[in-house]
């Protein structure tokens, strides 16, 4: 039996075995028994699968949240690709590693490698000219290195996978710095704002592969408040950190949603704040658009109706976007 | 010459001299010269006044923001009471104190005495049963005693006078505690929420009699963020302060505007948060309504159109409100 | 066979027989037949149940809206408690009363007894000092006694059970009177406003246990208009009822939704109107919050997403709410 | 000296005497005295005027709200026509009537004569086929004949002159009946809805020539509530008035603002209600547009910015509108 | 076997064969196989149907979008009428025409015949007095005759069937012309605006019986922009078409949604534009209301909750609407 | 007498003569005569000025919209710099040119020279790789060269001066191209969208130095519709212009306001459209912010309240923005 391809390469003809993260499991009752429905993830995406026979036996072999080894084949069901599984069990790490199981292959992840992204982050940090901001950024990224490398940018809406937060802030840093130069704004501040605007998400969300949840502080305080506290406490610990600089930096975090309606307790009042809010909104929106295009199962020129965006999306007819 | 009565008791027949705070001064140009228009305040309110003669001389005798001694008489101008001044000069504290000048008489103030309000605050603090909240509340009210006794609750909209913040939070504490008991909520938390919800205003606003201004942190961080930081830092300094309690308390500050639209970065998610947001809104609204009634110059049953409230206000025809 | 416990005390281990109100019945088609799904209610809540065998026979034994006698046992299905029924039939009142059937035990009801609530209402009425309001309140509560004791406050959103309207207005009367005293408002008027603000619901809704529906007048006129007419007609029948008092009372009914957006044709223009609208909103909101907590099936610190409230709700970690 | 022409025909060259209603009077202070500014109205519109000399003497000769006899001449001031008055005094009815003074000539009025409009109303009433609606409409129009002939439709926004309400409802009756036939709706109901939708304005507003004010009931109950009560009381007095018909008629009054946002406590739920709300909105809007065109002082193709409508208005370049 | 009646006349007792358009087909999986669910349409409406046996065989006999011949009988399922099919196959035009198959009988269509509606359109065109508008209207209706006779007015919301656009604009022309006369507006312009306001829909939508889809230009340019271009290009081709008239006509198309919120890039600035926007809104709304009433399966006085309209609809109790 | 400095360099000590554009003139009446108030502009900004004596004589010497020669000196009035004029007359071009009068020095203009900006535009055009877009852009910029070099971007809100439109679209082209590369979008399309998004403003506005007005087409069709037509007509004239490319380009114009609320009849549905709408919004906002800072007359850290932006603006305390 062959090994199944990556999720994004599965076809109805695929058949074989593979390792995945089971992010969801559900017994669907039917008259004389039940179906076992599961969602399987790997680094490239996720796919629905079902077990039709020996439900009781297989149900006992794994839980949602565990890595699993499956056997099965592809099929088309109501217009979408699915897997029909003939076997499923939880991974036995020691054994399965010998067969090629690697956790990181089974977790939905940013398209770029985390080490590559971290190197880009480091380069940004080294370019900061303001000494206080440089110290502050180094301290925060060092103290929170592990989470910052792993965290998704959100539970669902955008960049909702391993390394998603890093991917998001790096793109914002790239575009934000350009706009800062174009508008003769304080580039160090804009860089700091893009890197830290969502830093409170490290405490707002709890991330484990396959399960991003809101923490108590996430629900009650929220990432804007949590980010504010982290920046304030860090700045307090840096001798001579200028008070006006601290206030402008905090302002970037507090105002990054751009308006009261979107949950910012203060609205942008500096050019840097307008830039940070703008590149955050744009990167979020474009990520949603790209995902809508990627996930649309048809060959049509437009996607189906995207409820959150409130529109259909054009997939592109002019030659462009070689990726 | 007699002494002029309190501002709220002035009539067109009033004539004499008095001490006031001059909160505004303006040279109004007219064809062959200028009028000198000023706004005079005392503890009970404010009145417009004008100098018609010897403008140049009197204009040099004082500035806006200073206490002044005036002589003049009342008049009615376009349906409102005014003073016509024949003399005006800045107060000479040493001399004028001998004539009865007292700063506190000349500053718009809450109707209740600050000492009386402070005693009520103290009583609230003593009734707190939760030991951590009691320590935290005592620490904050002690550390910020001076400002908390003086500060207005806002620059303009409500309780915009000396002691206004204290007046506002005491009324909220009274009503909030009752509602906490009525709904079997955590009374200590509601009390703490009412007392601290606007604590960031001590840093958001800079108050001097006659001039309340926004600080840099007020504009860039805002009182919700500033209050959050103060509570977090204080709780961090109290050994064993329970983390869930800290999160719920911070939530009360962050959510007290009640909705995103009104600038809360998180919406109320606890019963205590609904109560605190409700009594804040109600006390603000009733203060605006009372002031609209007090300031309406007519004897009509309704006030004129109140732009901010978007309505006229009924002044009351049924027997009630003996005050 | 034992008797099943109250709905709120059911467990997967429960087994036995019991009396309930069947509020919903549905044949769910499956390939070779059908399931019979029902919703069962008693005074403490409601639970889903299903009949797996002899569908045709049992389907003929009762209709939705009838009291039923069932036999069965608890189970967990998709994370929620259900009953699996082996027998179900409509109640035969004469016979079943001998076995302990009582209608009132089978109807979702306010947690407090109606007699106790009525006594509290009576006490409120006796405390009214204004003679005209006292007559008017007595007349309306006497004329509509039967409905006022039974009616829910709404079809679904809050207090949607027997005695719910009474429960709602009593809590509003308690908090409204306190706020009236705190703000030196007309306590009699506030009391009258809280008791009568939803009085039009007696005509807007038609209530029978298990089925609250909108009447023609409910849909076309609405409870604000219906309440206005009832108050006007009653006041017209009371000799010497002062016209200003009538207008202020009617204003409380018309403005109690607080803003045009929420369907009030006039916005609050008296302090009493602000108080009545505030306590209505607060009691409604807290009831929704409490119910969201009560109905959440998990042990998590927060409920799941509450669609109507647009948020999750914190269930409370600090010691509080002994009930 | 010649008699001055009608207000709408005044030019900078006009000179003479005339009778007007003085709707506004103000002493505008200037350095060495005051100007006397007045607003003068006649049936065709209003014009600003000023007295430059002998202010004290003329100020004592009349009050706002009185009919006056003036002498003066036209001028252009800041791009608008004004009158400069050399004499002004209150009318002495007995004497001045001999000179041609007639009250009705001096009051801003609908362009059509009231008798002519009343005849049209009568014709509408006679065409009603439903016997109960015919009785109800006759009773209300008879009982309120005097006010209905005089009342404006609003204090300011549209049809704000004598007979304006009648003009408004007749145009709505004309267009509403046509739409009822076009959509096969109940023409009698639509007619009744158009005639009665604003009937509560007779109690909401107090009208005297030159001064339309809100009554207590107008502010506290509002014309929707007042209209509802009038219709209910009248229907109650008509033997056998069908209850469904009453409910549908009341619905037309309650829903005629079209949405909650605009202050309707119930939204349209019948085709007749959609028609009534539509023709009300359209007639109001077109009246505002026509007035904006009529009052624009320039020869430009578009009016200036109209704040309430939030746009400029095109005055028309294609041949149309012969009036 | 008898022929089945029209869709709107089907009952649970109906049994026989018939021709329909299959607009939707779905395999609904169940444990040991599948159901075949289809939607069948004819000129009078649509009905759900299911095939229970020989799924594989019948599934191969037709596709969604094809005309089909079915055999089966009515039934009631979850309160709604359905067909249970024992045979279904695609139509063989040559053969089936001999049995009475006619495409136009199987396509949801406007209630009036298209020829009759076209004659009414022609009569409107002949009555236009302005020579340039007459030429322009004739040219556009001639050039686009085929589509204009067939197109629906929308994909789903209103008049979503063959001839629906024609039905919609004729009703608007009728009511718009009346209002133009009533308000002394330019009747020719209003007529042109009603006929052309949605003319861009001929390019925005692609219509085939049973499937209305958005075109690329529909999604990217939209019917307002497409209509503007069509009118501009046509006017450019008419010698001497007056520029002001062209601008006013284009304005009617651009502003016909009535406000920015609803997607009009300019708001109505002429009386004609207010009229066109008003009759468009009214006709759309009434069509939705009528359909809600027609599709409600109960005998209740009100429909169930209509999600898009956000309300229930009264079906009418007073005698009216003979249709 | 010396020559007065540029407007942005005027001080209260300035004294001398100079050439300006008079954009506004008003006779302000006072008791015994009038003041003559004027607004004077040069390339760097505008300043208010007044004539105190010989009003009648000077009033006859010039009109608003003319270039003038003035003599006078600076002063501070109500906290703002003004000029007091002792002479003012219209420019006599032949004579005054000998004294150094140049029209372009007297007209508010973009800070960069138009020739420099045009060269930048040309460079953008030369870099376009898509042959059809290159032809289309060249054709439009050639056909409309004169207006495109002169036009302001708006009547008031932003870039409201000579060359403002060019300045605006060049900044958008710079930032838009960078974002297109960053997001791997079609750079040619984004460039074309930024250059053409407001091209309809050439017809929407009529520009003369000192007076930007809306045209008939501007009011009735608007710049979005006018730009659409220009692009469509130009594309139609280019042989083989691909239809999908045309649709995507038109989409950029139609959607550039970003949402229905802001007047776009279609919302962005391509990544290029999100980028164009984003850089338009950002450049507009930053221009407003910069101008608010430049025009604030105080040395405070924040500007005063900016009504249109709904906030105060921080002027910057951290070292940045060397310009």
Q: Residue A166 contacts by C-beta under 8 Å, 6 or more apart in sequence?
A: A110, A114, A117, A118, A121, A148, A149, A151
> Is the confidence at residue F189, as pLDDT, over 60?
yes
* Between E31 and C308, the higher pLDDT residue: C308
- Residue of chain A with shortest Cα separation from C316: A216
Distance from CA of B229 to the nearest CA of A (A): 6
Banded model confidence at residue D322, pLDDT cuts 50, 70, 90: very low
Are there at least 3 beta-carbon pairs closer than 8 Å between B and C?
Answer: yes
Task: Find the closest chain D residue to F220 by CA distance.
Answer: D314
Chains that touch D (3 or more CB pairs under 8 A): B, C, E, F
Which of A188-202, A232-246, B39-53 has the lowest average pLDDT? B39-53
pLDDT tier at F162, thresholds 50, 70, 90: very high
| Signed CA dihedral, A78, A80, A85, A91: sign only | negative
Question: Per residue in C35-59, pLDDT tens?
Answer: 899 999 999 888 999 998 888 899 9
Cβ–Cβ gap F225/E220 under 8 Å: no
**Distance in Å, alpha carbon of B251 to nearest chain A alpha carbon:** 5
Q: Which of A183, A258, A312 to mutate to test the interface with F (most CBs of F within 10 A)?
A: A183
Coil vs helix vs strand at E146: helix
Q: Mean pLDDT throughout B48-60? A: 90
Greater confidence, B298 or A41?
A: A41
Higher pLDDT, residue D289 or F77: D289
Contact status of D184 with chain F (Cβ, < 8 Å): no
Chains adjacent to A (≥3 CB pairs closer than 8 angstroms): B, C, E, F
Predicted confidence at residue B156, as pLDDT, reads 84
Give pLDDT, residue A322: 36
Q: Is residue A250 pLDDT above 90, yes or no?
A: yes
Strand partners, D26: D37
3-state secondary structure chain F: CCECCCHHHCCCCCEEEEEEEEEEEEEEEECCEEEEEEEEEECCEEEEEEECCCHHHHHCCCCCCCEEEEEEEEEEECCEEEEEEEEEEECCHHHHHHCCCCHHHHCCECCCCHHHHHHHHHHHHHCCCCHHHHHHHHHHHHHCHHHHHHCCCCCCCCCCCECHHHHHHHHHHHHHHHHHHHCCCCHHHHHHHHHHCCCCHHHHEEEECCEEEECHHHHHCHHHHHHHHHHHHHHHCCCCCCHHHHHHHHHHHHCCCCCHHHCCCCCCCCHHHHHHHHHHHHHHHHHHHHHHHHHCCCCCCECCCECCCCECCECCCCCCCCC
Confidence (pLDDT) at B12: 86
Using the 8-state DSSP alphabet, how is residue A314 labeled?
Answer: B
The confidence score (pLDDT) of residue B321 equals 38
pLDDT confidence of residue A184? 95
Tell whether F310 is within 8 A of chain A (Cβ): yes
Whether the predicted pLDDT of D71 surpasses 90: yes
Please name the chains neighbouring E, where neighbouring means 3+ C-beta pairs under 8 angstroms: A, C, D, F
To the nearest whole percent, how much of chain D has pLDDT over 70? 96
pLDDT for the residue C31? 52
- Probe site for chain B from C266, C290, C320, C321 (most B CB atoms < 10 A): C320
Across chain A, mean pLDDT equals 92
Cα(A198)–Cα(A226) distance, integer angstroms: 9
Q: Could you tell me what percent of chain F has a pLDDT over 70?
A: 96
Cβ contact D51:D58 at 8 Å: yes
What tens digit of pLDDT does each residue of B138-152 get? Answer: 999 999 999 999 999
Mean pLDDT of chain D: 92
* Chains in contact with chain B (at least 3 beta-carbon pairs closer than 8 A): A, C, D, F
Host H or E run for residue B89: strand B80-90
Nearest CA in chain A to E27: A78
Can you tell me the mean pLDDT for D230-237?
Answer: 98
Contacts of C130 in chain B (CB under 8 A): 318
Which residues in chain E have their CB less than 8 angstroms from residue D130's CB? 318
Q: How far is C32 from chain E (nearest CA, A)?
A: 10
pLDDT score of D230 = 98
Which range, A25-29, A107-111, B102-106, F136-140, has the best average confidence (pLDDT)? Answer: F136-140
Residue whose entry in the numeric block shows the structure tokens 């169930």: E304
Report whether pLDDT(F209) > 90: no
Question: pLDDT at residue D79 above 80?
Answer: no
Q: CA of A37, closest CA in chain C: separation in Å?
A: 13
Answer whether residue A210 shows pLDDT above 90: no
In this predicted model, what pLDDT tens digit does every residue of C268-302 receive, in sequence order? 999 999 999 999 999 999 999 998 998 887 889 99
Q: Which of A29, A31, A219 sits opposite C312 (nearest CB)?
A: A219
- From A219, A248, A260, residue closest to B220, measured CB to CB: A248
Least confident of D5-9, F87-91, F255-259: D5-9
Q: Three-state SS across C21-89?
A: EEEEEEEEEECCEEEEEEEEEECCEEEEEEECCCHHHHHCCCCCCCEEEEEEEEEEECCEEEEEEEEEE
Mean pLDDT (whole number) for E239-245:
96
Query: Are A312 and E219 an interchain contact pair (Cβ–Cβ within 8 Å)?
Result: yes
F258 interface with E at CB cutoff 8 Å: no
pLDDT digit string (tens) for D24-52?
Answer: 898 876 655 678 999 999 998 889 999 98
**Cα gap B112→B134, rounded to integer Å:** 25
Question: What's the confidence (pLDDT) of residue D75?
Answer: 86
Query: Which pLDDT belongs to residue A317?
Result: 59
Residues facing C16 on adjacent strands = C72
Q: Say whether residue F264 is in contact with chain E using an 8 A CB cutoff.
A: yes
Q: pLDDT at residue C138 above 50?
A: yes
Residue pair C190/C184 in contact by the 8 Å Cβ criterion? no
Chain D CB within 8 Å of residue E174 CB: yes
Of E31, E77, E312, the CB nearest to C31: E31
DSSP string, E42-56: ETTEEEEEEE-S-HH
For residue A77, what pLDDT is reported?
76
In this predicted structure, the answer to whether residue F178 has a pLDDT above a threshold of 70 is yes
- Residue A113: predicted pLDDT: 94
For C78-97, how does the pLDDT look when each residue is reduced to its tens digit (9 = 90+)?
667 899 999 999 999 999 99
Confidence (pLDDT) at D244: 96
In the structure, what pLDDT confidence band is assigned to residue D53 with cuts at 50, 70 and 90? confident
pLDDT tier, B278 (very low <50, low <70, confident <90, very high otherwise):
very high
For residue B104, give both structure tokens.
Answer: 């506190």
Looking at the complex, report in whole angstroms how far the Cα of residue D255 sits from the nearest Cα belonging to chain C. 9
d(CA C18, CA C99): 10
Residue D112, min C-alpha distance to chain E (Å): 14
Give E321's pLDDT tier (boundaries 50, 70, 90). Answer: very low
Which of F80, F84, F302, F318 to mutate to probe the B interface, most B CBs <10 Å?
F302
Of the two residues F76 and B300, the one the predictor is more confident about is: B300
pLDDT score for E322:
36
Q: What is the pLDDT of residue A319?
A: 47
Residue with tokens 């099943």: C4
Sequential DSSP letters for C185-218: --HHHHHHHHHHTTTTHHHHEEEETTEEEE-HHH
pLDDT score of C320: 46
Q: What values do phi and psi take at A114, rounded to 5?
A: -65, -35
Distance in angstroms (rounded) separating the CA atoms of residues E256 and E246: 16
ipTM: 0.91
pLDDT value for D210: 76
Mean pLDDT across chain B = 92
pLDDT of residue A321: 39
User: Which of B78, B302, B316, B317 is the mutation pick for testing D, counting most D CBs within 10 A?
Assistant: B302
Q: Is the Cβ of D216 closer than 8 Å to some Cβ of chain B?
A: yes
Helix or strand holding residue D69 (H, E): strand D67-77
Range scoring the smallest mean pLDDT among A118-122, A295-299, B94-98, B306-310: A295-299
Within the 8-67 window of chain E, which residues sit less than 8 Å (CB to CB) from chain A? 26-27, 29-31
Question: Which parts of chain B fold into alpha helices (H)?
Answer: 55-59, 93-98, 114-126, 131-143, 145-150, 164-182, 187-196, 201-204, 216-220, 222-236, 243-254, 271-295
pLDDT score, position E323: 37
């Amino acid at each position: 039996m062959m090994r199944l391809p990556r999720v994004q390469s599965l076809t109805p003809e695929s058949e074989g075995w593979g390792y995945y993260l089971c992010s969801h499991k559900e017994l669907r009752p039917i008259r004389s028994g039940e179906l076992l429905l599961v969602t399987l993830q790997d680094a490239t995406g996720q796919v629905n699968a079902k077990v039709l026979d020996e439900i009781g036996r297989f149900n006992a072999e794994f839980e949602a949240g565990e890595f699993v080894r499956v056997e099965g084949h592809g099929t088309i069901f109501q217009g979408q690709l699915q897997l029909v599984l003939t076997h499923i069990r939880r991974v036995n790490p020691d054994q399965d590693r010998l067969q090629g199981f690697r956790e990181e292959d089974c977790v939905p992840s940013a398209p770029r490698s985390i080490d590559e992204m971290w190197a880009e982050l480091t380069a940004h940090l080294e370019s900061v000219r303001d000494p206080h901001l440089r110290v502050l950024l180094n301290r925060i990224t060092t103290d929170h290195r592990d989470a910052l490398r792993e965290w998704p940018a959100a539970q669902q809406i955008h960049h909702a996978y391993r390394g998603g937060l890093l991917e998001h802030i790096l793109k914002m840093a790239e575009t934000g710095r350009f706009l800062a130069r174009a508008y003769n704004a304080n580039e160090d501040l804009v860089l700091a704002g893009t890197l830290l605007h969502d830093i409170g998400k490290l405490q707002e969300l709890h991330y484990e592969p396959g399960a991003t949840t809101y923490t108590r502080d996430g629900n009650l305080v929220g990432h804007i408040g949590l980010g504010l506290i982290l920046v304030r406490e860090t700045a307090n610990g840096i001798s001579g950190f200028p008070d006006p600089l601290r206030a402008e930096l905090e302002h970037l975090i507090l105002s990054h949603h751009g308006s009261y309606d979107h949950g910012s307790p203060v609205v942008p009042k500096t050019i840097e704040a307008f830039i940070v809010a703008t590149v955050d909104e744009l990167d979020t929106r474009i990520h949603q658009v790209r995902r809508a295009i990627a996930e649309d199962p048809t060959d049509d020129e437009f996607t189906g109706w995207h409820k959150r965006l409130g529109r259909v999306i054009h997939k592109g007819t002019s030659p462009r976007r070689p990726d």
